[in-house]
Chain A
Amino acid sequence: MSEPEINPWLIIAGVLGGALVIAPGLIWLERRLLALWQDRYGPNRAGPFGVLVVLADTLKLFFKEDWIPPFADKLVFVIAPAIVAITVLMSFVIIPIAPGFIVANFNIGILFFLAMSSMGAYSIILGGWASNNKYALLGSMRGAAQLISYEVFMGLSLMGVVLLTGSFRVEDIVNAQKDMWFVVPQFIGFVTFLIAGIAETHRLPFDIPEAESELIAGFHSEYSGMKFGLFFVGEYLGIMLISSLVTCLFFGGWLGPGFLPPIVWFLIKMFAFIFFFILLRASLPRPRYDQLMEFGWKILFPITLLNLMITAGIILYRSGAELNIKF
């Protein structure tokens, strides 16, 4: 492909700026949409349609007292919220937003995302542990249990797509979907990855480590000010990350009819999934963490394995047919 070379710094600034502007915007979007689905107004005072509520929220977070509890493990307590923001933002480097508009075109793109997502879980575990608080510790234990339940089948659910493309590079995967979106041949992979993605972002129904109705605020009970803000924004960045990954891996990324530029198609698809994430929050109850673990290991894990095996079998059969091998 011969796209005009874009200055790499411009791409970095675009991705970083876009992610950091959209993520707080999602807070407003989520509150408005939840209000819509629950038959109330939601924030509608500051600015047109209440958009400025984001600004007010951010200002409030900045001016709050940033309190570190005396009983906490100070170093780990400070590091933990940084980890979530760093790992999620690092994952954005492998996402191609438009042809050529990608920060790092790794040949191990998907593996890089998986590595970063397993690192991201440390923010919850360490944050909860460093708070030295019963509720926070319970939250982080649940976070660790949740990680063990979804991580394995999240990786496996993506391998079907990798098999079909023959590459871990996300750009190759998008280009391989010119004829058909991978959601069709890999529907099971799509569903399982979406479930794993919801668990990965710790969104309802899988906000088990946070569970404000059971554990006050779970792992970030002791956090205040901008440290809490980082956890908060990290969650929305995670939603964006999973939505854009689903878009790239299963829904053809920037591909779409020519009357709109590729980046617009990408954003449309991404926002569709963000809406879906918010709708899930508005509609589903939360399972217990052992229920999630059982669901992950006893149902989804075998399903993803079967999906992988059948996909591999079909590909093998087809390549055998090309080479005129009789089975």
Chain B
Amino acid sequence: MQVAFYIAALVAVISTIMVITRFNIIHALLYLVVSFMAMAVVFFILGAPFAAALEVIVYAGAIVVLIIFVIMMLNQKEEAVTQEKKWLTPMVYVGPAILSALMMGELVYIIYVGESHAVGQHVVDVKELGKTLYGPYILAVELGGMLLMAGIVGAYHLGRQKKKVIHRFLKEKED
């Protein structure tokens, strides 16, 4: 199990690096899918099969398909790549680099000091997860639901169109 964990983690790290270094955006997205799948395997090994399945269904499945859909609609060519290269000067990287270095430091500290669970000792089944989500974390679930509702209402508002089809006789009257 430990070996499988390290392999999956390695795949996740490598594929994530590939995501940000590819210039071909569809190839980058393919690596993103691989990265999500590797994360799902990590979840599975750590004893969270439900989280693993949801990772694949929601992230690797639905969300990346949506991103691909948008990219195909926009159909950007090489000009977009060169333009983006102009935007991304080395100075842009400084801020994020400092912040992520901080996070990295914290992560290393946690691994060093904090207690961590051994691989595959405790499997969280769906029932247990549901009880936790709708017990102590009910407020977070409700807040998440409200956020999604706001998103749906917003999308509906943006996507709503006034009725364009007017009968030709009525149209003449308006003029």
Residues of A within 8 A of B (CB): 73, 76, 106-108, 111-112, 114-115, 118-119, 121-122, 125-126, 129, 137, 140-141, 144-145, 147-148, 151-152, 155, 168
Contact = CB atoms under 8 A, between A and B. Distances in A.
Interface string B50-67: 101110110011100110
Contacts of A118: 56-57, 60-62, 65
A107 B125 contact: yes
Nearest to B60: A119
Contacts of B68: 125, 129, 144
A155 B72 contact: no
A129 B57 contact: no
B83 to A, nearest CB: 22
Contacts of A141: 69, 72-73
8 contacts: A107-B49, A115-B60, A118-B62, A118-B65, A119-B56, A126-B30, A140-B72, A152-B62
Interface residues of B, number: 24
Contacts of B24: 73
B8 interface: no
A29 B73 CA distance: 39
Nearest to A147: B65
Given A76-B26, A118-B62, A107 B126 contact: yes
Given A107-B125, A141-B73, A76 B54 contact: no
A172 to B, nearest CB: 12
Interface in B25-63: 26-27, 30, 33, 40, 49-50, 52-54, 56-57, 60-62
Given A118-B62, A122-B33, A126-B30, A111 B69 contact: no
Given A111-B50, A125-B68, A144-B69, 19 more contacts: A73-B24, A73-B26, A76-B30, A107-B126, A108-B52, A111-B53, A112-B53, A115-B53, A115-B56, A119-B56, A121-B61, A121-B65, A125-B65, A125-B72, A141-B73, A144-B65, A144-B72, A147-B62, A148-B65
